[in-house]
Amino acid sequence: MTQAPASGVDKSPVPLRVVAAVQRALGGSQLPAALHQPEFRGAEWTYVKDCLDTGWVSSVGAYVDRFERELERASGVRHAVAASTGTAALHVCMLLAGVGRGDEVLVPALTFVATANAVSYTGAVPHFVEAEDRTLGVDPEALERHLQAAARVEDGVCRNRETGAVIRALVVTHVLGLPCDLDALAAVADRWSLVLVEDAAEALGSHMRGVHVGGRGRLSALSFNGNKIVTTGGGGAILTNDPALAVRAKHLTTTAKQPHAWAFDHDEVAYNYRLPNLNAALGCAQLERLEDMIARKRVLAARYIDAFASVEGVRSLVEPAGSRSNAWLNGIVLDDPAQRDPSLEALAAAGLTGRPLWTLMHRLPMYASCPRAPLPVAEALEARVVTLPSSACLADE
């Protein structure tokens, strides 16, 4: 292990400094250390067995309702509608935001591909916007500047000056669990007549100024994929404070079937995006342990911040002022982008999992020709961020 001499600064190569700092943060933890490992320490076996014992494994059953009510309690958002994946939930958010063929939707360049795909499924075009250095979320000031240059509002509708297309909505992603600047972003959305949608897939349990994320946008999406802080194996949810939108979300995710004792009457083209009861049962057990997961992940986050405080050439990603992050994934930003891949390799060689952020959306072949704002900050982050082993169990030593 490379240790900084007490007398001065560690002059070893950056990748070795990164590995040494991670090892300091993890103390005696067992290796290999995964990025995020699911945990089944609660009632998972009991609830899943209950589904098997009663035969309620599929699209009908009490755990789906219970999971939705518990998500409402956990998030403080009035209505939660379970869905088969986070991507499906985002798709439904787009449909309910009124996004359709020929529209544009402002989407972060720095997000998971599902955010942009959900826009594309509706026939609309993603229009990529700039990230902020501190939160990794959409930068409200850069967004305002870009809209002033590229858009105008006419009869209450925002249009792209160049393409003439309606810019219907703004999606913001809470990256790694760090809440983005929702107050400022909501103000921009209001000023430009944009429907605000939150991709809160990574941010269950994150708060901004005491309020859970996901309730600021007209609609929000959660994910319960295996790598998220609460998992149902695969799953998602739509959150909204609007009761009419919640009813529509349920309708669209359940093939638009009219409630009836026996008739198969469907009143529009819709989707089978239901979350099976089996998965919801797992989710109910997972949600009971959410606060414990967050508490342990936050202990780990504090250890990383401490371990990297004295490491030159590296800064930690920390929760923005006034927020509580769920600490889903920890990350560092390297001063020198040339050190990213060597650092990832050095971590792997030491049995530690590190990952880069996503490839920016406008670099993916299907999105290369989409409209976009200048993206220097997103590009700098893409080249410099490394995420670190963040399983809650790593804090248990």
CA distance 199 to 277: 24
In this chain, which of 103, 198, 199, 319 binds ligand PLP, going by CB under 6 A? 199
Distance of CA 318 to the CA centre of its chain: 16
Binding of ligand PLP at residue 382 (CB under 6 A)?
no
Phi-psi region of 239 (alpha: psi -120 to 50; beta: other; left: phi over 0): beta
Question: Per CB under 6 A, which of residues 126..155 are in contact with ligand PLP?
Answer: none
Binding of ligand PLP at residue 236 (CB under 6 A)?
yes
> Which x/- pattern, by CB under 6 A, does the window 39-78 give for ligand PLP?
----------------------------------------
Give the tokens for residue 145: 């500047």
Short-list 94, 122, 294, CA closest to 198 = 94
In this chain, which of 173, 231, 325, 391 binds ligand PLP, going by CB under 6 A? 173
Binding of ligand PLP at residue 33 (CB under 6 A)?
no
Task: Return the number of the residue (173 or 339) whose C-beta is nearest ligand PLP.
Answer: 173
Residue 198: its H or E element: strand 195-199
Cis peptide before 371 (omega within 30 of 0): no
CB of 224 to ligand PLP, least distance (A): 7
Binding of ligand PLP at residue 329 (CB under 6 A)?
no
Binding of ligand PLP at residue 99 (CB under 6 A)?
no
Binding of ligand PLP at residue 111 (CB under 6 A)?
yes
How many CA atoms within 13 Å lie on the side-chain side of 108? 32
Burial of 363-386, coded b for 16+ CB within 10 Å and e otherwise, reads eeeebeebbbbebebbbebbbbbb
Binding of ligand PLP at residue 160 (CB under 6 A)?
no
CA distance 267 to 248: 12
CB of 114 to ligand PLP, least distance (A): 4
In this chain, which of 15, 38, 61, 86 binds ligand PLP, going by CB under 6 A? 86
Q: Which residues bind ligand PLP (CB under 6 A)?
A: 85-87, 111-112, 114-115, 173, 199, 201-202, 223, 225, 236
